[in-house]
Amino acid sequence: MKKILRNTLLISLAFILIGCSKTQSKEEILQEKYKVIESFFNAYSKKNYEEMYKYCTKEMKEGFTQTVKAIPTANLIVEKKITTITHEKKEYISVKLIVEATIKSSIYPGDLWLIDVLVEKVDGKWLITHYTTG
């Protein structure tokens, strides 16, 4: 009888703890994603590509390895309000960059560049998984 009571109490406690666990609001999640973008472009602006690659997937690293040849630096213009846009049913964060472009770049000599960045959880960590250009 004591065993049944103890097990019942343990199960009840587990449900209470699960029910009381804090879930993140959409705004908190958006802020976390934006911090990844800020960290990525902070490293990019310093041409610290190895640090930059910590914030994106392996596939994105391969793509950006080609991008940095044409666009050696990109400085994020930090916005107070985070703007999102939906592409293919996924929420991207729209950002503005001031870029330095080489002659190899289609945006040479560089200036303002608008892109939409997708940040998703990969193995429990927020990473840049895709971006689109306007």
CA distance 92 to 59: 17
Indicate the pLDDT class of residue 18, thresholds 50, 70 and 90: low
Single-letter residue type at 34: Y
Tokens read off for 3? 């065993």
The more confident residue out of 101 and 18 is 101
Phi, psi of 24 (to 5 degrees): -80, 145
Q: How far apart are the first and last CA of the chain?
A: 68
pLDDT digits (tens, 9 = 90+) for 47-62: 999 999 999 999 999 8
User: 84 near 95, Cβ under 8 Å?
Assistant: no
Please check the confidence at residue 86 and state whether its pLDDT lies above 90. yes
pLDDT for the residue 20: 54
Please check the confidence at residue 74 and state whether its pLDDT lies above 80. yes
Share of the chain above pLDDT 90, in %: 52
The model carries a pTM of 0.77
Q: What is the DSSP string of 37-86?
A: HHHHHHHHHTT-HHHHGGGB-HHHHHHHHHHHHH--EEEEE--SS-EEEE
Tokens read off for 84? 């999102």
Indicate the pLDDT class of residue 38, thresholds 50, 70 and 90: very high
CA distance 71 to 88: 27
